[in-house]
Amino acid sequence: MSLCQGTRKLLTYDQTENPDSAIGYTFAGTVPGANQWLVATTLWEGFYYLLVARCSGRQQYAWGYPVPSPDGKFFIVTNSDLEAHYTSTGLQLWAVTPTGVHKVWQREWPEDTDSGPAEVRWQNAHTVLIKQEFVADTVPPRYVALDLNQLLEP
């Protein structure tokens, strides 16, 4: 990846059969308004998204695909791994600022949980709707609203 100053950021794909070092990268686009590249990263067992700052090359790890807020000030990611536990189950809230993106809140579910956040959508610039899935097929999904005003109170 070519950075702003003309330098390059190189991510090395490792196709070995070693579960400790195997890693793959796929360009997944950009994070709207955040001046970040989004790279889907696959491991032997598991995955994450890599946020790469387009100018500095700084890398940050997100559990899932970013869903930007309507006003562009935040994005939220979710992941639900209720069976294999190769990846974290939970939510991460990121702020988009002129200096980059910054994780401002994170909630990780314990491994023995029977439910997790499957999908998120923004109702408005301060409210996220979360679809909660369950391990048991007999339990229907539940929808929960998360108010950022309450979440980010000092």
| Calpha distance 105→133 (Å, rounded) | 21
| Calpha distance 70→25 (Å, rounded) | 28
Domains of the chain: 23-151 (2.40.128)
75 vs 17, which has greater pLDDT? 75
Closest CA to 80 of 129, 118, 50, 49: 118
Q: Per-residue pLDDT tens for 16-45?
A: 777 777 888 889 999 888 889 999 888 777
CA dihedral 116→75→1→80, nearest 10 degrees, is 0
